[in-house]
């Protein structure tokens, strides 16, 4: 589904992603693929490459065997790759509904209409309601996004990702900063929205990884050092050493 070949990203000579030979990552269609690794391993950078926010220094990226290397972020988004942000990134002054409307707009021919009334966005009403129900924000559609609680903002973040009806979801630390209860709700939510989609997930919370991931890849210093099922990876000594810490193994 999503595949990289010898992918490298350098910042002024510092190789944030790539290690020795570049990263070869393969994400199968329909799986949930967790990306873990120490801080600064290059996970977010890899996300930025996959979503087109950054251009790779070398290497290639394929989406459904079509090469998307170097395409701009908005094109990749329209090809069906949606990402969430590590820090919630909502528009404080807009209603919850309009966030979803905006996402739907990006994928509709209305997006270039400038002499059409905003009311034309009403066409999305049904779908918007559906998406909000799905993430559990159905009753908050008219709330100002800035007034939402932290967990609700994360849910809205997910709503924007889901609304695009993407083939691939890139989720960057969806549970960061959440309490246990919110974490469980979010796991539940991700499971609900999944429905056959491919998900790439960055997480530091191993419980979340354990519950969601079909495959886990471990990145260290920009290099892919292990890949496999959760339990395989968990017991890999290199992973224990570099990431988990001895007593958690």
Partner 1 sequence: MSVVIRVSSMPTWGRTVLELRHVSAGYGEATVLHEVSLQVGQGDVVTLIGRNGAGKSTLLRSIMGLHPISSGSIKFLGRDITRLRPHRRARMGLGWVQDDRGIYSSLTVEENLRLPRVIGANAWAEERLFGTFPVLGQRRRQMAGSLSGGEQQMLALARVLRMGADVVLCDEPTEGLAPVIVDQIAEILREVASSGATILLVEQNLRFATTVAHKHFLIAEGHIVDHLDNSDVIARENDLLAHLGI
Partner 2 sequence: MITVRLVQSARRNQTAGWALLGAGALLALMLPWLVYPPIAVDILAWALFAMSIDILFGYAGMLSFGHAAFWGVSAYATGLAAIELGVPFPLAILVGAVSAALVAVPIGLVAVRTHGIYFTMVTLAFAQLIYYIANRWSSLTGGENGLQGIPRDFVGLEWSDPFVYYHAALLIVAIGFWVAWRSVNSPTGQVLVALRANPARVRALGFSVERYRVFAFVLSAFLAGIAGGVYAIGHRMVTLQDLYWTTSGEGIAMAVLGGTATLFGSIVGAALLVLLEDFLATSGIEATGSVTGAVFVLILLFFRGGIWGAVSAALARLRGTSQDDVLERPPPTGPAVPPSNAAEEATTQGSDVK
Ligand X SMILES: Nc1ncnc2c1ncn2[C@@H]1O[C@H](COP(=O)(O)OP(=O)(O)OP(=O)(O)O)[C@@H](O)[C@H]1O
- Quick note: the x/- pattern for partner 1 over 88-127, rule CB under 8 A, is ----------------------------------------
The residue length of the chain stands at: 249
Number of chain residues interacting with partner 2 (CB under 8 A): 49
The contacts of residue 94 (CB under 8 Å, 6+ apart) are 102, 144, 145
The residues facing 82 across adjacent strands are: 169
Selected binder of partner 2 within 48, 152, 175, 220 (CB under 8 A): 48
Nearer Cβ to Mg ion (44/84): 44
Residues 6+ apart with CB under 8 A from 67: 60, 61
User: CB under 6 A: which stretch of 42-50, 68-76, 190-198, 238-246 binds ligand X?
Assistant: 42-50
Can residue 74 be called a binding residue for partner 2 (CB under 8 A)?
A: yes
Size of the site for partner 1 (CB under 8 A): 32
> 45 vs 98, which CB is nearer to partner 1?
45
Q: Does 37 bind partner 1 (CB under 8 A)?
A: yes
- Given a contact cutoff of 8 angstroms between Cβ atoms, the answer to whether 119 and 88 are in contact is no
As given in the structure block, the two tokens for residue 70 are 């170097």
User: What whole-number distance in Å separates Cα of residue 155 and Cα of residue 202?
Assistant: 16
CB of 235 to partner 2, least distance (A): 35
Per the CB < 8 A criterion, the answer to whether 140 and 105 are in contact is no
């Amino acid at each position: 589904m999503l595949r990289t070949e010898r992918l490298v990203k350098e910042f002024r000579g510092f190789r944030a992603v790539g290690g020795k030979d570049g990263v070869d990552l393969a994400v199968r269609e329909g799986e949930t693929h967790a990306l873990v690794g120490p801080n600064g391993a290059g996970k977010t950078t890899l996300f930025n490459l996959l979503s087109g926010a950054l251009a790779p220094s070398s290497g290639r990226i394929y989406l459904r065997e079509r090469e998307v290397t170097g395409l701009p972020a908005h094109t990749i988004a329209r090809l069906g790759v949606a990402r969430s942000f590590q820090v919630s990134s909502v528009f404080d002054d807009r209603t919850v509904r309009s966030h979803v409307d905006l996402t739907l707009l990006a994928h509709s021919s209305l997006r270039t209409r400038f002499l059409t009334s905003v009311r034309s966005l009403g066409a999305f009403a049904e779908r918007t309601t559906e998406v909000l129900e799905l993430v559990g924000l159905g009753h908050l559609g008219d709330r100002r996004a800035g007034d939402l609680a932290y967990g609700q903002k994360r849910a809205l973040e997910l709503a924007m990702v889901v609304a695009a009806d993407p083939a691939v979801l890139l989720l960057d630390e969806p549970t960061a900063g959440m309490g246990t209860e919110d974490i469980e709700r979010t796991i539940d939510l991700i499971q609900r929205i999944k429905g056959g989609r491919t998900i790439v997930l960055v997480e530091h919370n191993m419980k979340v990884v354990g519950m969601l991931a079909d495959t886990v890849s471990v990145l260290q210093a920009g290099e892919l050092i292990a890949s496999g099922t959760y339990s395989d990876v968990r017991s890999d000594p290199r992973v224990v050493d570099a990431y988990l810490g001895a007593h958690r193994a």
